[in-house]
Amino acid sequence: MRTWVVLLVLVGCGTDEPDDPCSTTGDGFAVDLHTTEVGVFLDALTVDANAVALQDGGPECPFAGVPGAHTGHYALAVHHDRYTVAVTCPGNDVRVLARGIADGATLEVACKAPRTVGGGNTLLAHATSGGLPIVVQTFMGLAQSSKVGIADGGVMYQWRALAGAYDLVARGHVGDTNIDGPDKFHIVRDIAATDATDKDVTPANAPDWVAPGPTVAVSIGASSLAAMSYRTKNGTRVELGLLLADATPANGTLSTWPASLRGPDEVHIQTLQVDGSSTRRTVTRDVAEPTAFDMALPPELTASLTAGVFTFQIVPDASQYVFSCETAKHAVATDLSPAWLGDELAYTLPALAGVSYDDCTMWTGTAIGQSSPTDSWKSKLSIVAH
pLDDT at 16: 36
| 188 and 132 inside one domain | yes
User: Is 13 domain-assigned?
Assistant: no
pLDDT at 68: 85
Domain that holds residue 344: 303-384
CATH code, 91: 2.60.40.1120
Show the low-confidence residues of the chain (pLDDT under 50).
1-18
User: Is 62 domain-assigned?
Assistant: yes
User: Is 10 domain-assigned?
Assistant: no
* pTM across the whole model: 0.87
User: Is 7 domain-assigned?
Assistant: no
Question: Nearest Cα to 216, choosing from 272, 177, 274?
Answer: 272
| 97 and 129 inside one domain | no
| 316 and 253 inside one domain | no
- Count: domains in the chain: 4
User: Is 317 domain-assigned?
Assistant: yes
| 164 and 185 inside one domain | yes
| 239 and 309 inside one domain | no
Domain stop point among 63, 83, 112: 112
pLDDT at 363: 96
pLDDT at 8: 32
| 174 and 231 inside one domain | no
Domain stop point among 112, 131, 159: 112
User: Is 362 domain-assigned?
Assistant: yes
Domain stop point among 173, 200, 227: 200
pLDDT at 6: 33
User: Is 96 domain-assigned?
Assistant: yes
